Amino acid sequence: MDKTDLPLTAMHWGTYRAESDGKTLRALHPFEEDVDPSNIGQGFFGVLDGPTRVTAPMVRKGWLEDPDGRNRDRRGSDAFVAVSWDEVEGLIADELTRVRRDFGNEAIYAGSYGWASAGRFHHAQGHLRRFLNLNGGFTRSVNTYSLAAGEVICEHVIGGFWVAAADTTDWQSIVEHTELFVAFGGLPLRNGQISQGGTGRHRQREAMLNARANGVEFVSISPLRDDAIDALSAQWIAPRPSSDVAMILALCHCLLDEGLHDADFLARYTVGFERFADYLTGKTDGVAKTAAWAAAICEVEASAIVDLARRMHRQRTMISASWSLTRQDHGEQPFWATITLAAMLGQIGLPGGGFGLGYSAVNSMGLENRSLAHAAMPQGTNPVETYIPVARISDMLENPGAEYAYNGRTLTYPDTRMIWWAGGNPFHHHQDLNRLRQAWTAPDTVIVNDWCWTATARHADIVLPCTNPLERRDVSMGGRDPYIVAMEAVSAPPPLARDDYEIFRGLARRMGQEEAFTEGRDAEAWQRHLYALSCQRAAGEGVTLPDYDTLRERRWHKVEAPAEPNVMFQRFRADPEAHPIPTRSGKIEIWSAEIAGFGYDDCPGHVTWMEPYEWLGDAAADELHLISNQPHTKLHSQLDQGPVSQGAKRGGLERVRLNPADAAARDISEGDAVELFNARGACLARVVLDDALRRGVVQMATGAWFKPSPERPELCLNGNPNVLTADRGTSKLAQGPTAHTCLVRIRKTAQR
Ligand SMILES: Nc1nc2c(c(=O)[nH]1)N[C@H]1C(S)=C(S)[C@@H](COP(=O)(O)OP(=O)(O)OC[C@H]3O[C@@H](n4cnc5c(=O)[nH]c(N)nc54)[C@H](O)[C@@H]3O)O[C@H]1N2
Ligand SMILES: Nc1nc2c(c(=O)[nH]1)N[C@H]1C(S)=C(S)[C@@H](COP(=O)(O)OP(=O)(O)OC[C@H]3O[C@@H](n4cnc5c(=O)[nH]c(N)nc54)[C@H](O)[C@@H]3O)O[C@H]1N2
Ligand SMILES: [Mo]
């Protein structure tokens, strides 16, 4: 069979040819353009129907039984009853009207963070926001779980994270010009499997291999050896987790001390180096940030730090800092430190030199394509101005009316009476889930749109059954991914499931706003309309896209890469006056007057080493540092119920990796069922011994569906590490999540 005749479907983790009669999906084959396809999509088989599928609108029993108190403490353990769409629309319309009337729209929290699924039109959050904006608005969220601290610090230091990410020096430039590639947090190829909005061709592996073949030397700085693939023959340096900033400061100190810093670059392109230098030398605090000083903090040989600093000076060096470094206490510092170090080396704006924020964090980082700003569903205007930094949700639910600091402002938490989530899974993504579960009892009503019974759906009052990307026609076009894919519906949804668009259209009809919501368009008409807008925008950038019918007929289109490799900040380097970067000074801010002016003790005016609230440097002898990183077999919690993720578990338990020496010290062996625990909670897992882990570190991927034990509710039977992680902001600046700052203990358990 010629597979290139088959219809295409697209997900964040890849594009697939689908064998299907349009109703029943028989097979997913890799897209012929994909050189390194991901297996994650096979996780759909077996879960498109069955017990994990939501097949009808569902309402929680206790919520129906008590219209005043709503039996809120039964959320998460209560039974549900199926109702008709007509009934559920009536219940929601009444509740929305009541909450708006009695508490105002600020009382509706629809930050609704999450990845949902690929496809330009069928984006759950867009439709939710459009619908609520027609109804007076809602409290929203700002920044991401991925790198909130990175986003906020980059605003001040280089003028924004996403602008810089779109300008990332591409792999071709690295292959041709880089001599030394230093990766803090490694280059985890498993994460390069995905990209938001769709992935046509998985590029990270071939790019890394090309770089290696061209002589690029790699250094991977990470607690896990396998954060760099073996073929890179990377030098592995494994500092204590959360100590990277101390190591980078020592690298900076060494450059300064030995006169290896680029004073001309610092003078022309940066501000505030002198103040930072006074901190490095210890003039301001009496502590010189020498290699010996850092060695004691990081447990890395001082000589290795000095060697690395000298090599970085000698060679054309690209420094990468993974997003994970920002999901830690004081997570603002690692990116700021990386940029400061790169500025001292003076190679920013040169081919193959400077810094990149998260190569291989997602497939799009370093792609040779240009970023196109494609059109999305218009969301209208939100009349409510209230927002929270995304990871402050439990704080918000627990403390209505309380004031807190964020990025130079004083904000106030609203009194939340209704939560609406579409396309995200907070009972996967948030930290300290036992605390969230308690806080989650505060609102009167929780509504969730999802296609499967995630932990968040189980903790809702009303669950609206939606479709998934296999069941819809759409166009996948992710900003920097060059492939535009006409997706076809290749599987029939359960009869009562609706697209998110249709869910909100039905509700808008009930509220008397159908015309305002649809503007007279059905899904197909919207897709044509949005695609035409995207074509216009692309034309403005000099890129010609095929028209909608041609795209549908040919099934996909590849946007050609520009002729020249992209180099971050090249124009700025060539002429900083004509092409300033969008910071207050127009230059890289090694010292930020604005941040210093905020007066935050946990985020001073230049990069500063501050001990995290918990770490190996201040741990009891039996405590271990937990790395809860991204899963190889899925995207976050998506498809954890499916065969790819389930097949990678061991005897029904999530794997936890442990260094053999740490295991021996605890009388733990390969294959043992264990409990990871701390004061916040506990979860079950099965032990895999691996010397790819630095001693003192355990690693357990995120994504297992949260399942509290009925007997011991603080214990997650499925192994979701977020029962262990702490829910504290990175600092007053960004208030980002800190999942990677976490100590645990581990013990054998009799269970299973
Ligand atoms: N401990 C720890 N925790 C972490 C992290 C970590 O490193 N460690 N990483 C964090 C990061 S970086 C992130 S981005 C978050 C991710 O957190 P999320 O983005 O919330 O996780 P997902 O599992 O992708 O959730 C997406 C949800 O959308 C649903 N969905 C899919 N398609 C549709 C659709 O068309 N319509 C609707 N209505 N729903 C749909 C899926 O079934 C799923 O429930 O997790 C964070 N949490
Ligand atoms: N397959 C797959 N790919 C994904 C995702 C997924 O769920 N599945 N999620 C996507 C999303 S939303 C995001 S935001 C990105 C996230 O991309 P990252 O933030 O890079 O992801 P992580 O896997 O959490 O972390 C990468 C590595 O950082 C290392 N690390 C942790 N703490 C420290 C430290 O203190 N110091 C050093 N030097 N290293 C440390 C860990 O060993 C870890 O393996 O991944 C994306 N890619
Ligand atoms: Mo993320």
Ligand 2 pocket check for 125: Cβ under 6 Å = no
Query: Residue 229: which of 265, 189, 178 has the closest Cα?
Result: 189
At 16, which helix (H) or strand (E)?
strand 14-20
Question: What residue type is assigned to position 8 of the chain?
Answer: L
Place of tokens 């009316």: 401
Examine the domain organization and report whether 137 and 157 are in the same domain. no
How far, in Å, CA of 211 to CA of 630, rounded?
25
Within 10 angstroms of residue 452's Cβ, the number of other Cβ atoms is 23
Residue 658 has pLDDT above 90, yes or no: yes
Contact 145, 113 (CB under 8 A): yes
Is the pLDDT at 495 greater than 90? The verdict is yes
Mean pLDDT, residues 444-467: 98
Structure tokens at 406: 């964020």
Question: What are the beta bridge partners of residue 686?
Answer: 655, 673
Give the ligand 2 atom nearest the CA of 739.
24
Which of the four pLDDT bands, split at 50, 70 and 90, describes residue 41?
very high
CA 627 to ligand 2: nearest atom:
31
Query: Dmax of the chain from CA atoms?
Result: 74
User: Is residue 519 domain-resident?
Assistant: yes
Look at residue 648 and tell me if it is in a domain. Answer: yes
Give the mean model confidence (pLDDT) for residues 665-684: 97
Please give the average per-residue pLDDT across 496-507, as a whole number: 98
Greater model confidence, 308 or 372: 308
The residue to which tokens 């909100």 are assigned: 504
User: DSSP letters along 105-170, please?
Assistant: GGGEE----S---S-SS--HHHHHHHHHHHTT--BEEES-TTTHHHHHHHHHHTS-HHHHHHTPPP
Whether 370 has a pLDDT exceeding 90, the answer reads: no
- Residue 571 falls inside a structural domain: no
pLDDT bracket for residue 750 (50, 70, 90):
confident
* Shortest-distance Cα residue to atom 25 of ligand 2: 324
Q: What's 670's domain CATH number?
A: 2.40.40.20
Q: What is the pLDDT of residue 480?
A: 81
pLDDT tens digits, 166-178: 999 999 999 999 9
The answer to the question of residue 34 being in a domain is no
Q: What ligand has the least distance to the C-alpha of 325? A: 2
Which atom of ligand 2 sits closest to the CA of residue 144? 14
Q: Is 242 in the pocket of ligand 2 (CB under 6 A)?
A: yes
Active site annotation includes 145: no
**Are 553 and 438 in the same domain?**
yes
Q: CA 23 to CA 489: how far, in whole Å?
A: 8
13, 16, 63, 113: which one is catalytic? 113
CATH number at residue 68: 3.40.50.740
- Bridge-partner residues for 19, per DSSP? 27
| Residue labelled with tokens 């704006």 | 349
**In the structure, what pLDDT confidence band is assigned to residue 371 with cuts at 50, 70 and 90?**
confident
- How remote is the CA of residue 350 from the centroid of ligand 2, in Å? 27
Residue 630 Cα to ligand 2 middle (Å): 5
| C-alpha closest to that of 699 among 626, 622, 615 | 626
Ligand 1 and 730: CB distance under 6 A: no
Query: Which residue, by CA, sits nearest to atom 39 of ligand 1?
Result: 423
Using the Cα atoms of residue 162, residue 167, residue 172 and residue 175 in order, give the sign of their dihedral. negative
Ligand 1 pocket check for 427: Cβ under 6 Å: no
Task: Centre a 10 Å sphere on the Cβ of residue 379 and count the other Cβ atoms it contains.
Answer: 16
Residue 425 CB less than 6 A away from ligand 2? no
Residue 684 lies inside a defined structural domain of this protein: yes
pLDDT digits (tens, 9 = 90+) for 537-581: 999 999 999 999 999 999 999 999 998 999 999 999 999 999 999
Active site residue 279: no
Which among 13, 115, 236, 421 is annotated as catalytic?
115
User: Which ligand 2 atom is the nearest neighbour of the CA of 224?
Assistant: 42
Please indicate, yes or no, whether residues 130 and 176 belong to a single structural domain of this protein.
Answer: no
CA distances (Å), 462 to each of 363, 422, 452, in order? 35, 12, 13
**Encoded tokens for 384:** 């409510």
- What is the residue range of 331's domain? 148-370+577-598
Ligand 1 pocket member 722 (CB < 6 A): yes
Q: Give CA–CA dist 685/697, Å, rounded.
A: 15
Whether 1 maps to a domain, the answer reads no
How many independent structural domains does the chain possess?
3
Amino acid at 307: D
* Residue 470 sits in the same domain as residue 349: no
Mutation pick for ligand 1 pocket among 450, 629, 698, 744 (CB with most ligand atoms within 8 Å): 450
Nearest alpha carbon to residue 352 among 220, 215, 170, 219 = 170
Residue 736 lies in a domain: yes
- Are 659 and 692 found together in one domain? yes
pLDDT of residue 341 exceeding 90 = yes
What pLDDT is stored for residue 751 in this prediction?
Answer: 60
What separation in Å is there between the alpha carbon of 243 and the centre of ligand 3?
A: 22
**Average pLDDT value for the chain:** 97
Q: Give the percent of the chain with pLDDT over 70.
A: 100
pLDDT score at 478: 83
Same domain? For 392 and 278 the reply is no
Q: Are 684 and 749 in contact (CB under 8 A)?
A: yes
pLDDT, position 39: 97
Residue at token pair 């002729």: 563
Residue 287 is predicted with a pLDDT of 98
